[in-house]
């Protein structure tokens, strides 16, 4: 007789709600002390996916009590216009967090834009100064998606220290900072990517497997170790309009011990962590004001 034990579903939506409720209470107390966290989100152009993300961020701000300001700028915005807008927000005392929604139109130098954000207001944790701090394990702001994944693991009592973790994907937004955060949590970390030889052999070593590639169906059952924890960062729009992750969920859930769904796994956590980073930035800014 074979007993098939289906994986525990790691419910990111539920944890994100818990975190937002914790933040709502914290923000209420901050407001009693006269601190109102403020987030500015800049959207350049009209990419439909970006528009949806920005609307979700605005809604989350309203839920927790963060003051939000969405600046919609035309597709034809110049580098200089965008930099001037960011500089105004850098100087604005009511704004503690600045997020420029990526990707930006091709004529804009993304690196330069990220570097023009005051690192203290960089709630994405993309500025080189904050990336550096992350790599030496200091600072109180962490990149949103990787931080959300750590929170999913911790709140489900999944041990990270000493575990073999394989991250598939090496983007600056997810793959690289994810590896760094896992390392800061004492995991043994491997980063696999498009040039990795024998991907399945590498992924099969993982106690915790994290896929952040953006390719539907990339991770199949034969690539996963029995009872592994599988985290799916992929958000792929299928031809039938449905959203799918990188992981073949139906297959892999039969072998994994725990797995995040898409949607309802990592996605909601990214936004919850953005809210947390904005609160942290507001608290630090206030400390500086009264120093
Ligand atoms: N585009 C896709 N994900 C992100 C993110 O986490 N931050 C920003 N600024 N843009 C994104």
pLDDT tens track for 183-225: 999 999 999 999 999 999 999 999 999 999 999 999 999 999 9
d(CA 243, CA 33) in angstroms, rounded, equals 42
Q: Beta-carbon neighbour count of residue 218 at 10 Å?
A: 20
- Annotated active-site residue in 101, 225, 246, 253: 101
Ligand 1, atom 3, residue with closest C-alpha:
102
Among residues 55, 118, 56, the alpha carbon closest in space to that of 86 is found at 118
Residue 226 Cα, ligand 1 centroid: separation in angstroms? 33
Q: If you write DSSP's letter for every residue of 208-277 in order, what string do you get?
A: EEEE-S--TT-B-GGGS-TT-EEEE---EE-TTS-EE-SB-HHHHTTT-SEE--SSSSHHHHHHHHHHHH
Question: In angstroms, rounded to a whole number, what is the distance separating the alpha carbons of residues 147 and 142?
Answer: 6
Work out whether the CA dihedral 197, 198, 199, 204 comes out positive or negative: negative
Whether the predicted pLDDT of 288 surpasses 80: no
Tell whether ligand 1 has an atom less than 6 A from the beta carbon of residue 144: yes
Beta strand 243-244 with 236-237 is antiparallel
Distance CA(149)–CA(181), nearest Å, equals 10
Whether ligand 1 lies within 6 angstroms of the CB of 61 is answered as no
Contact by Cβ (8 Å): 139, 128: no
pLDDT in tens, 21-57: 999 999 999 999 999 999 999 999 999 999 999 999 9
Rounded CA-CA distance 246/217 in Å is 5
Taking CA atoms only, the protein residue closest to ligand 1 atom 1 is 102
Is any atom of ligand 1 closer than 6 Å to the C-beta of 99?
yes
% helix / strand / coil in the chain, to the nearest 5? 45, 15, 40
Residue 170 CA to residue 176 CA, distance in Å, equals 5
Q: What is the pLDDT of residue 291?
A: 45
This model's pTM is above 0.85: yes
274 Cα nearest atom in ligand 1: 6
Are 216 and 237 in contact by the 8 Å Cβ rule? The answer is no
Would you say 41 and 51 are in contact if contact means Cβ atoms under 8 Å apart? no
Q: What is the pLDDT of residues 103-153, one digit of tens each?
A: 999 999 999 999 999 999 999 999 999 999 999 999 899 999 999 999 999
Q: How far, CA to CA in Å, does 78 sit from each of 73, 81, 286?
A: 10, 5, 33
Average pLDDT, the chain: 96
Dist. CA 71 → ligand 1 center (Å): 15
Q: Answer yes or no: is the C-beta of 73 below 6 A from any ligand 1 atom.
A: no
| Burial of residue 172 (number of CB atoms within 10 Å: 0-12, 13-18, 19+) | middle
If DSSP codes are grouped into helix, strand and coil, which group holds residue 109? coil
């Amino acid at each position: 007789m074979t007993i098939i034990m289906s994986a525990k579903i790691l419910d990111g939506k539920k944890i994100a709600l818990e975190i937002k409720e914790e933040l709502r209470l914290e923000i209420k107390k901050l407001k009693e002390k006269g601190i109102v966290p403020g987030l500015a989100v800049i959207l350049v152009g009209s990419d439909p996916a970006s528009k949806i993300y920005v609307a979700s961020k605005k809604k989350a701000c309203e839920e927790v009590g963060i003051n939000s300001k969405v600046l919609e700028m035309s597709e034809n915005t110049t580098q200089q216009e965008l930099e001037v807008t960011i500089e105004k927000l850098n100087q604005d005392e009511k704004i503690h967090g600045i997020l420029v929604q990526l990707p930006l139109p091709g004529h804009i130098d993304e690196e330069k834009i990220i570097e023009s954000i005051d690192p203290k207001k960089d709630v994405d944790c993309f500025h080189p100064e904050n990336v550096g701090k992350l790599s030496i394990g200091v600072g109180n702001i962490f990149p949103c998606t990787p931080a959300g994944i750590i929170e999913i693991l911790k709140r489900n009592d999944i041990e990270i220290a000493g575990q073999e973790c394989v991250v598939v994907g090496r983007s600056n937004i997810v793959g690289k900072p994810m590896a760094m955060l896992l390392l800061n949590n004492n995991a043994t970390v491997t980063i696999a990517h498009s040039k990795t030889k024998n991907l399945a052999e590498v992924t099969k070593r993982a106690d915790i497997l994290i896929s952040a590639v953006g390719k539907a169906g990339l991770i199949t059952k034969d690539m996963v170790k029995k009872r592994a924890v599988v985290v799916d960062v992929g958000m792929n729009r299928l031809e039938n309009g449905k959203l799918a992750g990188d992981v073949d969920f139906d297959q892999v859930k039969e072998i994994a011990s725990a797995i995040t769904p898409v949607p309802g796994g990592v996605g909601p956590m990214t936004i919850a962590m953005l809210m947390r980073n904005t609160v942290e930035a507001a608290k630090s800014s206030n400390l500086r004001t009264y120093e």
